[in-house]
């Protein structure tokens, strides 16, 4: 089974890069299933039905969320009708779910979405949620498990790796929009601290630089805006799974000027 993951899609620039490149990448790399994080997909904040349909039609199979899941209230019924997840460790009674099982290439694949704690809204304990959900999935006979861990702190993401390595197929972090350079495979688990955004690459975390700079200089905040024009990037991790273990992983950085940079995961014993 070959799966791919795309981190935070930021506005129209991110959606356009997916529309222009994803189906071709699926074909050339033989990708069976694509997961992506939607929480910034609609003008940087949340997800609309229109944009959800656009992204699914572009070759994405399921999408995960985060702290901006609820920014567009129209998503609430969509969590029940479309393959859209929200963090699994929101308290009981919150609409939707953060874990779903899919049939992929004749096998079962679980996609799990969990949110961290530092700088985030109140949620249940991320680490107990991850541990207990993975134990339940294993009892159900699901061995291929991918986790999008949506968290600010790199220490939380690394701790989740230490907790679940060897038990899940992949753990990739989202939320910071800044890609890390630590793609590895350890005990059959692919790990990357942060996937990095897909969208504008020449601004501040995919947003126009004016408001962030004003905030840093004066302490006065404003509404972040996704630029109409910018230099764009699509960042994708591709993982090959065998009986629930990741045996190969690569990160693709696809630029709108035609360049593609591919980085291989390093292997740990």
Render pLDDT for 176-198 as a digit per residue (tens, 0 to 9). Answer: 999 999 999 999 999 999 999 99
Say what the pLDDT of residue 116 is.
98
For residue 99, which phi and psi values (nearest 5 degrees)? -145, 125
User: Is pLDDT at 223 greater than 80 in this prediction?
Assistant: yes
User: CA 146 → CA 72, 73, 184, 191, 261, distances in Å?
Assistant: 26, 27, 15, 10, 24
For residue 206, which phi and psi values (nearest 5 degrees)? 85, 0
Intra-chain end-to-end CA distance of the chain, in Å: 22
Q: Tally the C-alpha atoms within 13 A of residue 47's C-alpha that lie toward its C-beta.
A: 32
Give the pLDDT band of residue 268 (cuts 50, 70, 90): confident
Which tens digits make up the pLDDT trace of 224-262? Answer: 999 989 999 999 999 999 999 999 999 999 999 999 999
Which tens digits make up the pLDDT trace of 67-95? Answer: 999 999 999 999 999 999 999 999 999 99
Q: Collapse the DSSP code of 53 into the 3-class scheme (helix H, G, I; strand E, B; otherwise coil) and give the result.
A: helix
pTM of the full structure: 0.96
Sequence-distant contacts of 131-139: CB under 8 A, at least 24 apart: 131/163, 131/164, 133/88, 133/99, 134/164, 134/167, 134/168, 137/99, 137/101, 137/110, 137/112, 138/167
Identify any residues that bridge with 235 across adjacent strands, giving them in sequence order: 253
CB of 34 closer than 8 Å to CB of 66: no
User: Is pLDDT at 221 greater than 90 in this prediction?
Assistant: no
Q: Collapse the DSSP code of 206 into the 3-class scheme (helix H, G, I; strand E, B; otherwise coil) and give the result.
A: coil
Say what the pLDDT of residue 228 is.
86
Which tens digits make up the pLDDT trace of 1-39? Answer: 999 999 999 999 999 999 999 999 999 999 999 999 999
Place of tokens 């230490």: 162
User: Is pLDDT at 269 greater than 80 in this prediction?
Assistant: no
Considering only CA atoms, which of 248, 245, 263 is closest in space to residue 189?
245
Homologous superfamily assigned to 2-268: Metallo-dependent phosphatases (3.60.21.10)
Domain ranges of the chain: 2-268
Sign of the CA dihedral running 195, 197, 201, 202? negative
Mean pLDDT of the chain: 96
Q: Which of 68, 88, 150, 177 is catalytic?
A: 68
CB of 162 closer than 8 Å to CB of 49: no
68 noted as active-site residue: yes
Q: Which H or E element spans position 78?
A: helix 75-81
Q: Report the C-alpha gap between 248 and 107 in whole angstroms.
A: 18
């Amino acid at each position: 089974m070959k799966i791919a993951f795309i981190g935070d899609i930021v506005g129209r620039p991110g959606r356009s890069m997916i529309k222009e490149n994803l189906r071709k990448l699926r074909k050339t790399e033989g990708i069976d299933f694509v997961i992506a994080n939607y929480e910034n997909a609609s003008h940087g904040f949340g997800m609309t039905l229109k944009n959800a349909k656009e992204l699914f039609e572009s070759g994405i199979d399921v999408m995960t969320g985060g702290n901006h899941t609820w920014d567009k209230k129209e998503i609430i019924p969509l969590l029940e009708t479309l393959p859209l997840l929200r963090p699994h460790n929101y308290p009981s009674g919150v609409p939707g779910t953060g874990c779903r099982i899919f049939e992929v290439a004749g096998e079962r694949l679980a996609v799990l979405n969990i949110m961290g704690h530092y700088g985030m809204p109140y949620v249940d304990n991320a680490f107990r949620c991850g541990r207990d959900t993975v134990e339940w999935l294993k009892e159900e006979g699901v061995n291929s498990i991918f986790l999008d861990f949506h968290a600010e702190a790199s220490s939380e993401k690394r701790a989740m790796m230490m907790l679940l390595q060897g038990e899940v197929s992949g753990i990739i972090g989202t939320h910071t929009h800044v890609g890390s350079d630590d793609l590895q495979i350890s005990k059959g688990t692919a790990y990357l601290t942060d996937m990095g955004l897909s969208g504008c690459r020449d601004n501040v975390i995919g947003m126009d630089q004016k408001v962030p700079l004003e905030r840093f200089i004066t302490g006065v905040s404003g509404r972040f805006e996704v630029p109409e024009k910018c230099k764009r990037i699509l960042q994708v991790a591709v993982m090959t799974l065998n009986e629930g273990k990741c045996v190969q992983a690569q990160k693709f950085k696809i630029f709108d000027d035609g360049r593609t940079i591919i980085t291989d995961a390093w292997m740990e014993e």
